[in-house]
Structure 1
Amino acid sequence: MTLADLPACLALAEDRGWPPEAHKWRLLLAAGQGYGIDAPPGESGLIASAVVTSYTDAYRCVSMVLVAGRHSRRGLGRHLMRHVVAECAPAVTFLTATDYGRPLYEQLGFRTVGAVTVLRGRFTGTAPAAATAAVRPATAADLPGILAYDLPVFGADRTELLTRLPSFADRILVAHAPDGRLTGYAAAWPNVTTTVVGPVCADDLPTAQALIARLGSAAPLPIRFDADDRHPELAAWLRASGLSGGSRFSLMVLGAPDIPGDITRRFAPYSVALG
């Protein structure tokens, strides 16, 4: 698929009750490789979709796996995912799964290695007193430092996505230690009814909280935060800061024991569709 398929992708998403996330779809189709199945004669549009985002030759992230409701339970999702998995091999492949999709991915060899909870709401909190990093808006001069910081944190080169962040996000912040060393960065981007906070990468929890507090306080809409189970203290702080929710997704991987990167410094994904 290409960007010309964006209207069909949005129509397919709405068919399955997903919001029309044009901003996110546009990024995915531009930075990744979309796969679709056209409707049969007599119909129009797409009846199935998937997007693969590549991180060099080592990793692939699969997202936006959808089948039109009128064609569900006919094996189209399995057929498309088998094609996608074959195209991704031999790279390690990971994804974020709904409860509905997880059994299919398990049958294809994916293993659950974690989970995230989607939290939403108006942010009412403040940065903790323990936060000592200086937080400021990022500039173009910060991009090389962000790329260098992100590589070991995410565990793979995502230059393609991070260089698109200034045009995709509403705000990007960086955090610095007193000696000037970069200790984290974060962004917030618009998505229909919420402002999504992510990615968030930081040396420690207080720095992550300082970045999130600045972004959350300035957000024009309620924020969405995809909280990883491996950061329970952060999730508790977000709930105490006005967010709530219980929608959960499984983190799944094929071809490796876990998803890449350093979870101790990776506090939020770019998007659940991108890792």
Structure 2
Amino acid sequence: MAHADIAAGLRLCRAAQWNQLEDDWRCFLELKGSGCMLAERDGSVIGTAAFLRYGSSFSWISMMLVDPRERGAGIGSRLLESALDALGPQSCVRLDATPLGQPLYCRHGFVPEYELDRAKATVAAERFHPLPGAARPMEPEDLHRVLEFDRQVFGADRRELLVSLYRRAPKFAWIAGQGTLLAGYSFGRPGYLYNQLGPIIAESAAIARELVSHCFFRHDGVSFAIDVPEAAREWVPWMESVGFEVERPFLRMSRGEIRSHGLPERQFGIAGPEFG
């Protein structure tokens, strides 16, 4: 895939009612170790598969899209195989599967890790009561320590991705902690259908609530999605109390030995199934 093909990728996103924008596709073309495969018929793009390499820890596959008119012909399988071949002898490959995609991944040796829930809401600011001083907007000088800490929590180095998210949407980037002590942080990005808030990393559900409350208090009437890992379901009742509805599941899957799971108990929202 080249930059000239992004329009075709967006067309497939719209056909599937997916949320990605041009900047999301650019990540798979511009971040180190990234790439995207295309399937074509008669000069038209009919399928995609994208990947990212998160250092030597693991790789990530996403954007598995096939034109609805072309499904059932094995195109998705061939795209997945092409992406896996491009990654080479990577010890571990991971992804977040929709229910529709799970059988395909199982056939290619992926096994379940844990479930995730997508929750969505149109924010009503009056429902959020952020505590003064509990969180503040992230500043550029905060990024170094956030990125170092994130490597421990995520289990891999995704600094390029997080810097990209910060540049795209600094208004969604918040940090919690006192002095040099880091208690949590969030990033986010705009989307075609809704904004995605995540990753949301925190020492506790209480800190995660403060990060979200400070952010959402400033975005009345705006639609957001948060993808919640199984280990963080403790805060879903609070999310529902402020208007979120759990809409659909994903399944984290992997192929190969995982060197580090990071600290899943501190991951209250992921960056999205595109990025993990």
Q: TM-score, normalised by structure 1?
A: 0.90
Q: Equivalents in 1 of 2:17, 2:197: separation in Å?
A: 23
Q: Equivalents in 1 of 2:195, 2:69: separation in Å?
A: 32
**Offset at residue 133 of structure 1 (A):** 7.0
Q: Equivalents in 2 of 1:135, 1:201: separation in Å?
A: 13
Q: Pairwise CA RMSD of aligned residues?
A: 2.1
Q: Equivalents in 2 of 1:234, 1:24: separation in Å?
A: 28
Which residue does 2:202 correspond to in 1? 202
Which residue does 1:34 correspond to in 2? 36
Q: Please tell me whether residue 74 in structure 1 is matched to residue 73 in structure 2.
A: yes
Q: Equivalents in 1 of 2:193, 2:72: separation in Å?
A: 31
- Number of equivalent positions: 269
Does the Cα contact within 8 Å between 1:195 and 1:222 map onto a contact in 2?
yes
**Offset at residue 257 of structure 1 (A):** 5.7
Q: Please tell me whether residue 10 in structure 1 is matched to residue 10 in structure 2.
A: yes
Which residue does 1:60 correspond to in 2? 59
How does 1:87-106 map onto structure 2 within 5 Å?
87-88=86-87, 89-106=89-106
Secondary structure in 2 matching 1:218: coil
**Offset at residue 263 of structure 1 (A):** 0.5
Q: Which amino acid aligns with 2:78?
A: H
**Offset at residue 20 of structure 1 (A):** 5.7
Q: Which amino acid aligns with 1:270?
A: A
Q: Which amino acid aligns with 1:64?
A: M
1:199-226 deviation per Cα after TM superposition (whole angstroms, max 9, x unaligned): 1111121111110111122225121111
How does 1:1-275 map onto structure 2 within 5 Å?
1-19=1-19, 21-31=21-31, 32-40=34-42, 44-88=43-87, 89-124=89-124, 125-126=127-128, 134-171=134-171, 172-177=173-178, 179-219=179-219, 221-256=222-257, 260-275=261-276
Does the Cα contact within 8 Å between 1:128 and 1:206 map onto a contact in 2?
no
Q: Equivalents in 2 of 1:128, 1:18: separation in Å?
A: 31
Q: Equivalents in 2 of 1:48, 1:137: separation in Å?
A: 39
Q: Which amino acid aligns with 1:110?
A: F
Q: If each structure's helix is expressed as a fraction of its own residues, which one has the higher value?
A: 2
**Offset at residue 18 of structure 1 (A):** 3.1
Structure 2 residue runs of 5 or longer lacking an equivalent are none
Q: Which amino acid aligns with 1:35?
A: M
Q: Equivalents in 2 of 1:37, 1:261: separation in Å?
A: 34
Does the Cα contact within 8 Å between 2:186 and 2:211 map onto a contact in 1?
yes
1:84-118 deviation per Cα after TM superposition (whole angstroms, max 9, x unaligned): 12322323111011111100100101011111111
Change in 2 beyond 3 A, CA 1:142/1:257: closer
- Spell out structure 1 runs of 4+ moving beyond 6 A: none
